[in-house]
Amino acid sequence: MSPALRSAWLVATLGGVGRLRPAPGTWGSAVVLPAALLGPLACLLLAVPLTLIGWWATRIMLGEDTDADPSWVVVDEGAGQLLALAALPAGTGARGVILAFLLFRLFDITKPGPVGWADRQHGARGVMLDDLVAGALAAALILALRAVLPDGTF
What residue ranges do the domains of the chain occupy?
3-14+24-148
Q: Distance (Å, rounded) from C-alpha 135 to C-alpha 129?
A: 10
- pLDDT for the residue numbered 64: 72
Q: In degrees to the nearest 10, what's the CA dihedral of 64, 18, 44, 146? A: 120
Helices (H), the chain: 3-12, 24-30, 40-62, 75-86, 94-110, 113-119, 123-148
CB count, 10 Å around CB of 66? 14
Report pLDDT digits (tens) over 58-103.
999 988 767 778 899 999 999 999 999 999 999 999 999 999 999 9
d(CA 89, CA 41): 10
Residue 154: pLDDT band (50, 70, 90) is confident
pTM of the model: 0.94
79 within 8 A of 54, measured Cβ to Cβ: yes
Q: What pLDDT was estimated at residue 39?
A: 97
* H or E element that contains 16: none
Terminal CA-CA length for the chain: 45
pLDDT at residue 50 in the model: 97
Q: What is the pLDDT of residues 5-40, one digit of tens each?
A: 899 999 999 999 999 999 999 999 999 999 999 999
